[in-house]
């Protein structure tokens, strides 16, 4: 593996996913899930992953019938060591999709909602809770406000408050690190359309090490160790991006103690599978835990934050807030059924009256998941300037984060034909 | 016609099925057809079962939440009041927003 990698910057982890040649039967199942065609190898021969094309989404990993793809980064032992080190406050940033899947490795039925048990188990292990749902709410505030600004700029010619640049419509969500890397490697001309808001994980890390260090935990940010607990393998890549040292720079600019080595906003990332492994190593049985509270300000979240893990969830949460901000009225019904479900591309139009300008507007939004199958026509429309939409949510994995590459593995995946086809491979 | 005399009163056809044989063979054929139909149907019904189960779990969390809109989260209000000011403020821009890089040229 001494091949030079080109699409990674210094400091970034190249190739989170690799294929174990010993286990690969060459059945091509992974190729049917790969969004970028990064997997090469003839049918029947051992497959390889082109790390430059790979966006680290991990769909091949959870769908391989032989368990051949594996994660090259494993920080379970490192996190366990930090939990044992009393100098450190170890903050777990727990993604929404983890609470409905982490019960599965402990014998609970698929989809059991175990927020309380999870808090209990993790606090027993020594974590403090920074629920990523809190950061999801924060994302809605930032990304939603950005969207309103872009929409008012495009529709009514509103200028930015400080004369800054305002991005074009449609605005794409930027929560999914695999999607962001997909844009960066395949459609860089779409970058102005991406929301400038960080993903919830990175917001949580930056907030925990600035506001959290100062007001909530009351410790030196250098001694806060943030652990993303994510349903996602691409989050490991995202956390290693060099620009995500904003908390360190922020503290330094304001005359805080200058750290010996710059620290990242999110120190390391565990997948849901990694978390289950860590808890089992520490002999904590999540299923037997009592329900516990989060115990910090950062554990307060709303229903809008928690649905981020489903496809359509970010859009629905953004619409709930954007509607209220734009019209000044409350929504009669909070559920936007049009953006729910497993159809490839879901769209909705919302008629509302902008209270500030006193004009009627029809907002057109779209939700895309499973980008392998669904994204290209949408992107081509945007590039050609004929996209009817104002706001587009994109999640790489089919079904959203709840089916992410870091989730517990359920036999051979989301496709029924996928269960049958590997039987025809010669091994 | 009457001149030609039949050698036998009754000739058993080798392809003739008794009612009992017809029921047995027909039953076997239907059973063989039904097996893959049932198999495919159960595969179709169970497809994405865990995606659906987890999706349901999160929507259940939403419904059981007391507050269901992000801007009403008191913790968020406190964060903006004590620290960031308002969305898209200078502090927000520094801590909560980012930039992206073009990686396509390297790929070509």
> Are the beta carbons of A113 and B58 separated by less than 8 Å?
yes
Of residues B5 and A73, more confidently modeled = A73
Q: Which chain B positions have a beta carbon within 8 Å of A242's beta carbon?
A: none
Answer whether residue A207 is part of any domain: yes
Answer whether residue A426 is part of any domain: no
**B32-48: pLDDT as tens digits:** 998 888 888 877 777 78
**B68-105: pLDDT as tens digits:** 999 999 999 999 999 999 898 889 989 999 999 998 87
Longest dimension (CA), chain B: 119
Residue B5 has pLDDT above 60, yes or no: yes
Alpha helices, H only, A76-188: 76-84, 115-125, 132-156, 177-186
Residue A260 has pLDDT above 80, yes or no: no
Residue in chain A closest to B54 (alpha carbons) equals: A111
Instruction: For residues A126 and A226, state if they share a domain.
Output: yes
Instruction: Name the domain boundary from A55, A71, A87.
Output: A71
Instruction: For residues A287 and A320, state if they share a domain.
Output: no
Q: Which chain A positions have a beta carbon within 8 Å of B102's beta carbon?
A: 184, 188, 191
Instruction: For residues A232 and A356, state if they share a domain.
Output: no
Instruction: Name the domain boundary from A302, A321, A348.
Output: A302
**A104-131: pLDDT as tens digits:** 899 888 889 999 999 999 999 999 999 9
| 3-state SS class at A243 | coil
Q: Which chain A positions have a beta carbon within 8 Å of B57's beta carbon?
A: 99-100, 111-113, 402
**A196-229: pLDDT as tens digits:** 999 999 999 999 999 999 888 899 888 999 999 9
Write down the pLDDT at residue A101: 92
Q: Tokens for A174?
A: 């930027």
CATH number at residue A115: 3.40.50.1780
Answer whether residue A421 is part of any domain: no
Instruction: For residues A183 and A106, state if they share a domain.
Output: no
Alpha helices, H only, A174-312: 177-186, 200-207, 234-239, 246-253, 272-281, 303-306
Domain count, chain A: 3
Residue in chain B closest to A144 (alpha carbons) equals: B87
Residue A257 has pLDDT above 70, yes or no: no
Residue in chain B closest to A189 (alpha carbons) equals: B102
Instruction: For residues A94 and A223, state if they share a domain.
Output: yes
Residue in chain A closest to B77 (alpha carbons) equals: A138
**A273-286: pLDDT as tens digits:** 999 999 999 999 99
Interface of A with B in 188-247 (CB under 8 A): 188, 191, 194, 196-198, 202-203, 206-207, 210-211, 215, 243-244, 246-247
The whole-angstrom distance between A199's CA and the closest CA on chain B is 8
Q: How many CA atoms lie within 13 A of A283 on its CB side?
A: 0
Instruction: For residues A279 and A326, state if they share a domain.
Output: no
Q: Which chain A positions have a beta carbon within 8 Å of B95's beta carbon?
A: 203, 206-207, 210, 246-247, 250
**pLDDT confidence tier of residue A333, bands split at 50, 70 and 90:** confident
Q: Which chain B positions have a beta carbon within 8 Å of A7's beta carbon?
A: 103, 106-107
Instruction: Name the domain boundary from A302, A327, A352.
Output: A302
> Are the beta carbons of A184 and B100 separated by less than 8 Å?
yes
> Are the beta carbons of A142 and B80 separated by less than 8 Å?
no
Instruction: For residues A191 and A205, state if they share a domain.
Output: no
Instruction: For residues A167 and A287, state if they share a domain.
Output: no
Give me the long-range contacts of B22-26 (CB less than 8 A, separation at least 24).
Answer: none
Answer whether residue A244 is part of any domain: yes
The whole-angstrom distance between B32's CA and the closest CA on chain A is 19
User: How distant, in Å, are the alpha carbons of A164, A168, B71 from that of B88?
Assistant: 11, 17, 14
Residue B24 has pLDDT above 90, yes or no: yes
Please report the number of interchain residue pairs, chain A to chain B, with beta-carbon separation below 8 angstroms.
214
> Are the beta carbons of A6 and B106 separated by less than 8 Å?
yes
Residue A172 has pLDDT above 90, yes or no: yes
> Are the beta carbons of A140 and B72 separated by less than 8 Å?
no
> Are the beta carbons of A400 and B49 separated by less than 8 Å?
no
The whole-angstrom distance between A99's CA and the closest CA on chain B is 8
Indicate which residues of A carry an active-site annotation.
Answer: 143, 146, 175, 195, 235, 238, 243, 401
Instruction: For residues A120 and A222, state if they share a domain.
Output: yes
Q: Identify which of B61, B63, B98 has the shortest CB distance to residue A115.
A: B61
Length of chain B in residues, anyone? Answer: 108
Answer whether residue A412 is part of any domain: no
Write down the pLDDT at residue A177: 95
**pLDDT confidence tier of residue B56, bands split at 50, 70 and 90:** very high
CATH number at residue A62: 3.30.70.20
DSSP code per residue over A27-50: --TGGGT-SS--EE--TTSPPEE-
Q: What angle do CA A6, A9, A12 make, to 5 degrees?
A: 110
3-state secondary structure A159-196: CCCCCCCCCCCCEECCCCHHHHHHHHHHCHHHHHHECC
Instruction: For residues A120 and A234, state if they share a domain.
Output: yes
Residue A420 has pLDDT above 70, yes or no: no
Range of the domain at A151: 139-196+304-403
The answer, yes or no, to whether ipTM is higher than 0.90 is: no
Residue A418 has pLDDT above 60, yes or no: no
| Residue A179: closest CA among B95, B50, B100 | B100
Question: To probe the interface with A, which of B55, B82, B85, B104 has the most A CB atoms within 10 Å?
Answer: B55
Residue A144 has pLDDT above 50, yes or no: yes
Answer whether residue A418 is part of any domain: no
Answer whether residue A408 is part of any domain: no
Q: Identify which of B47, B51, B65 has the shortest CB distance to residue A306.
A: B65
Mean pLDDT to the nearest integer, A185-195: 93
Answer whether residue A411 is part of any domain: no
Q: Tokens for B79?
A: 């964060």
Question: To probe the interface with A, which of B37, B58, B86 has the most A CB atoms within 10 Å?
Answer: B58
Residue B2 has pLDDT above 60, yes or no: no
Q: Identify which of B50, B57, B63 has the shortest CB distance to residue A410.
A: B50
Mean pLDDT, chain A, integer = 89
**pLDDT confidence tier of residue A1, bands split at 50, 70 and 90:** very low
Residue A186 has pLDDT above 50, yes or no: yes
**A13-28: pLDDT as tens digits:** 988 999 999 989 888 8
> Are the beta carbons of A324 and B71 separated by less than 8 Å?
yes
**A368-416: pLDDT as tens digits:** 999 999 999 999 999 999 999 999 999 999 999 999 999 998 754 445 5
Mean pLDDT to the nearest integer, A126-151: 93
A210: left (phi over 0), alpha (psi -120 to 50) or beta: alpha
Instruction: For residues A334 and A236, state if they share a domain.
Output: no
Mean pLDDT, chain B, integer = 86
CATH number at residue A310: 3.40.950.10
Mean pLDDT to the nearest integer, A308-324: 93
Instruction: For residues A117 and A248, state if they share a domain.
Output: yes
Write down the pLDDT at residue A265: 93
């Amino acid at each position: 593996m001494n091949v030079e990698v080109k699409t990674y910057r210094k400091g970034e982890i190249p190739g989170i996913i690799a294929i174990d040649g010993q286990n690969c039967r060459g059945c091509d199942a992974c190729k049917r899930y790969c969004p970028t065609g990064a997997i090469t190898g003839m049918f029947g021969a051992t497959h390889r992953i082109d790390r430059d094309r790979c966006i680290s989404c991990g769909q091949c990993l959870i769908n391989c019938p032989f368990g051949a793809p594996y994660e090259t980064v494993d920080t379970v032992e490192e996190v366990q060591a930090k939990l044992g080190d009393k100098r450190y406050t170890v903050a777990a940033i727990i993604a929404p999709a983890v609470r409905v899947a982490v019960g599965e490795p402990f014998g609970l039925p698929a989809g059991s909602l175990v927020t309380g048990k999870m808090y209990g188990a993790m606090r027993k292990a020594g974590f403090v809770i920074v629920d990523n749902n809190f950061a999801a709410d924060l994302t809605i505030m930032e990304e939603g406000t950005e969207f309103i600004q872009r929409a008012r700029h495009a529709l009514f010619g509103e200028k930015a408050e400080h004369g800054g640049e305002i991005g074009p419509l449609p605005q794409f969500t930027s929560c999914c690190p695999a999607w962001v890397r997909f844009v960066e490697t395949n459609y860089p001309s779409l970058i102005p359309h991406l929301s400038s808001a960080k993903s919830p994980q990175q917001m949580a890390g930056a907030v925990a090490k600035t506001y959290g260090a100062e007001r909530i935990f009351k410790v030196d940010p250098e001694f806060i160790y943030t652990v993303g607990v994510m349903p996602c393998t691409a989050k490991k890549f995202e956390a290693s991006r060099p620009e995500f040292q904003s908390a360190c720079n922020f503290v330094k600019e304001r005359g805080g103690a200058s750290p010996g080595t710059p620290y990242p906003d999110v120190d390391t990332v565990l997948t849901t599978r990694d978390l289950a492994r860590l808890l089992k190593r520490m002999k904590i049985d999540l299923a037997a835990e009592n329900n516990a509270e989060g115990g910090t300000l950062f554990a307060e979240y709303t229903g809008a934050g928690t649905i981020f893990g489903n496809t359509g969830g970010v859009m629905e949460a953004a619409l709930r807030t954007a509607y209220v901000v734009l019209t000044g009225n409350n929504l009669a019904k909070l559920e936007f059924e049009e953006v729910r479900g497993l159809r490839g591309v879901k769209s909705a139009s919302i008629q509302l009256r902008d209270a500030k300008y006193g004009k009627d507007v029809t907002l057109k939004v779209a939700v895309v998941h499973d980008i392998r199958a669904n994204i290209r026509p949408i992107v081509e429309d945007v590039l050609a300037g004929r996209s009817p939409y104002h706001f587009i949510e994109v999640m790489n994995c089919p079904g959203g984060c709840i089916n992410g590459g870091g989730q517990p593995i359920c036999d051979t995946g989301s496709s029924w034909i996928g269960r049958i086809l590997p039987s025809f491979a010669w091994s | 016609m009457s001149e030609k005399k039949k050698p036998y009163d009754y000739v058993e056809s080798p392809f003739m099925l008794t009612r009992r044989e017809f029921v047995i063979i027909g039953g076997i054929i239907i059973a063989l057809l039904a097996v893959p139909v049932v198999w495919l149907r159960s595969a179709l019904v169970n497809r994405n079962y865990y995606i659906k189960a987890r999706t349901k779990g999160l929507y259940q969390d939403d419904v059981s939440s007391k507050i269901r809109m992000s801007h009403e989260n008191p913790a968020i209000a406190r964060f903006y009041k004590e620290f960031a000011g308002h969305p898209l403020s200078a502090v927000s821009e520094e801590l909560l927003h980012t930039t992206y890089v073009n990686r396509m040229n390297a790929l070509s």
